[in-house]
């Protein structure tokens, strides 16, 4: 056999791949590494959801792992079953347990490269944001799901799982907080929301934009979030046994105060108002919020529009020449601007913030930093 041509030869591409790897391992470090079995290690935690909900029973974590096409090209995959329920059936206690489990996995396995979590899509953005605020490790946590179940034509669950594993195994995914990966797109758990009840392209970060994409050849990032996440988060979930009750109430034409009062009387420690526009209330809701403040219940204002920022007031006590009543002044002491968090995410942040402090200024700082 003639000596192999130099790497600059035009005939080099006709040599068998196995021979090329054998004679030029340094020219193909990634392929050589994979040939040696030195792949990233990714752990898969299944919680259920549509991605596993086939006719006749739910797929297990093991069955889902086996369904991922070509996963052994990208990672060494292990798996476990945490729960196997619809996402709307996950409890707050299970949220806490899931976060503790992920933090434990990272703390006890320093060689683990990343974690993939499956979730039903109906509340996926909530679970992902809770993990985003409580996982204190720079290694990636990827939340995936599917809009179609395994018994449906066009089921995309296996493809989303594969892309989730690829993102978890990608070194560039570190220190980006929890990521949501579906439909070839990578979004931050902080910004993403479900925007359509049925369509595959439902998860969007709206005007904030996606972080990256999962393409055929590689994972590509375009953006990074700047708010606190990963090792910079201050919420220590290991010390949390129960999350305080926080309710979400919407502003709509003629809305009554009694719903707010009922939430307070039934133990709510916080209320998120999904306000109209940039802060408008309706009906006699002001009366209900005055009642909440008189009971020491914190109120977060978050727009119901789906996007837009609610800014803190310019100065305590109002402005513009308007004199606040005693009730309004008291309410101001218990009101926090939700910044750009949508109502359901403002609820999660307030629940966690109340595990640390009941100081209004500190609560506002938390909303401004996260």
Report the alpha-carbon distance of residue 211 to residue 229 in Å, rounded.
Answer: 15
Query: pTM, whole model, 2 decimals?
Result: 0.88
Report the alpha-carbon distance of residue 116 to residue 120 in Å, rounded.
Answer: 13
- Please give the order of strands across the beta sheet that includes 270-275: 246-250, 270-275, 298-303, 335-337
CB 63 within 8 A of CB 207: no
Backbone CA torsion sign across 167, 169, 170, 176: positive
Location of each CATH 3.40.50.40 domain in the chain: 245-369
Residue 337 Cα distances to 15, 47, 128, 341, angstroms:
64, 33, 22, 10
Bin 283: left if φ > 0, else alpha if -120 < ψ < 50, else beta.
left
Contacts of 45 (CB under 8 A, 6+ apart): 61, 79, 80, 82, 98, 101, 102, 115, 116, 117, 118
HSE, side-chain direction, 13 A CA sphere, residue 42: 30
3-state percent helix, strand, coil for the chain, nearest multiple of 5? 35, 20, 45
Which positions are annotated as active-site residues?
50
Contacts of 158 (CB under 8 A, 6+ apart): 64, 67, 68, 69
Report the alpha-carbon distance of residue 127 to residue 154 in Å, rounded.
Answer: 25
145 closest CA partner among 167, 164, 169, 166: 164
CB 320 within 8 A of CB 328: no
pLDDT of residue 9: 37
pLDDT of residue 37: 58
CATH 3.40.50.2000 given to domain 245-369: no
Report the alpha-carbon distance of residue 157 to residue 161 in Å, rounded.
Answer: 6
Location of each CATH 3.40.50.1170 domain in the chain: 31-232
CA angle 319, 321, 322 (to 5 degrees): 80
pLDDT of residue 321: 57
CB 268 within 8 A of CB 247: yes
Report the alpha-carbon distance of residue 248 to residue 301 in Å, rounded.
Answer: 10
Structure tokens at 3: 């000596």
Report the alpha-carbon distance of residue 365 to residue 349 in Å, rounded.
Answer: 12
Per-residue pLDDT of the chain (370 residues; tens, 9 = 90+): 444 444 333 433 333 434 333 333 333 334 434 444 589 999 999 999 999 999 999 999 999 999 999 999 999 999 999 999 999 999 999 999 999 999 999 999 999 999 999 999 999 999 999 999 999 999 999 999 999 999 999 999 999 999 999 999 999 999 999 999 999 999 999 999 999 999 999 999 999 999 999 999 999 999 999 999 999 999 999 989 999 999 999 999 999 999 999 999 999 999 999 999 999 999 999 999 999 999 999 999 999 999 999 999 876 544 555 678 888 889 999 999 999 999 999 999 999 999 999 999 999 999 999 9
CB 274 within 8 A of CB 249: yes
Structure tokens at 338: 């939700």
Tokens 């513009």 identify what position? 320
pLDDT of residue 160: 98
pLDDT of residue 324: 80
pLDDT of residue 28: 39
User: Under CATH, which number does the domain 31-232 receive?
Assistant: 3.40.50.1170
Helix axes 124-134, 92-108, angle to 10 degrees: 50
Report the alpha-carbon distance of residue 96 to residue 349 in Å, rounded.
Answer: 14
Residue 28 Cα distances to 23, 92, 127, 179, angstroms:
10, 47, 40, 30
């Amino acid at each position: 056999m003639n000596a192999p041509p130099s790497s600059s030869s035009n005939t080099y591409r006709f040599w068998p791949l196995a021979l090329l790897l054998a004679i030029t391992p340094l020219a193909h470090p990634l392929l050589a590494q994979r040939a040696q079995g030195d792949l990233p290690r990714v752990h898969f935690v299944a919680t259920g959801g549509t991605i596993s909900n086939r006719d006749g029973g739910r797929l297990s974590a093991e069955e889902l792992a086996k369904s991922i096409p070509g996963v052994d090209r990208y990672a060494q995959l292990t798996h476990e079953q945490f729960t196997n329920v619809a996402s709307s059936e996950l409890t707050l206690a299970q949220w806490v347990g899931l976060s503790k489990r992920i933090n434990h996995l990272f703390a006890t396995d320093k060689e683990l490269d990343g974690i993939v979590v499956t979730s039903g899509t109906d509340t996926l953005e909530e679970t992902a944001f809770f993990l985003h605020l409580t996982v204190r490790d720079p290694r990636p946590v990827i939340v995936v799901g599917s809009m179609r179940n395994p018994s449906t034509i066009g089921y995309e669950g296996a493809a989303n799982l594969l892309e989730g594993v690829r993102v978890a195994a990608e070194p560039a995914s570190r220190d980006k907080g929890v990521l949501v990966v579906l439909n070839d797109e990578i979004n931050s758990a902080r910004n993403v929301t479900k925007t359509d009840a049925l369509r595959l392209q439902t998860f969007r970060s709206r005007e904030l934009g996606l972080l990256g994409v999962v393409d055929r050849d590689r994972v590509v990032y375009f953006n990074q979030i700047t708010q606190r996440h990963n090792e910079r988060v201050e919420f220590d979930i290991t010390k949390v046994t129960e999350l305080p009750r926080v309710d979400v109430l919407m502003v709509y034409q003629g809305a009554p105060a009694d719903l707010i009062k009922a939430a307070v009387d039934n133990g709510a420690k916080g209320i998120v108002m999904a306000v109209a526009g940039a802060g408008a209330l309706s009906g006699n809701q002001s009366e209900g919020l005055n009642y909440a403040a008189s009971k020491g219940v914190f109120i977060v204002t978050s727009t119901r529009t789906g996007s837009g920022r609610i800014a803190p007031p310019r100065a305590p006590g109002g402005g513009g020449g308007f004199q606040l009543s005693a009730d309004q002044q008291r309410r101001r002491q218990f009101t926090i601007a939700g910044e750009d968090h949508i109502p359901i995410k403002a609820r999660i942040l307030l629940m966690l913030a109340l595990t640390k402090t009941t100081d209004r200024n500190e609560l506002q700082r938390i909303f401004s930093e996260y």
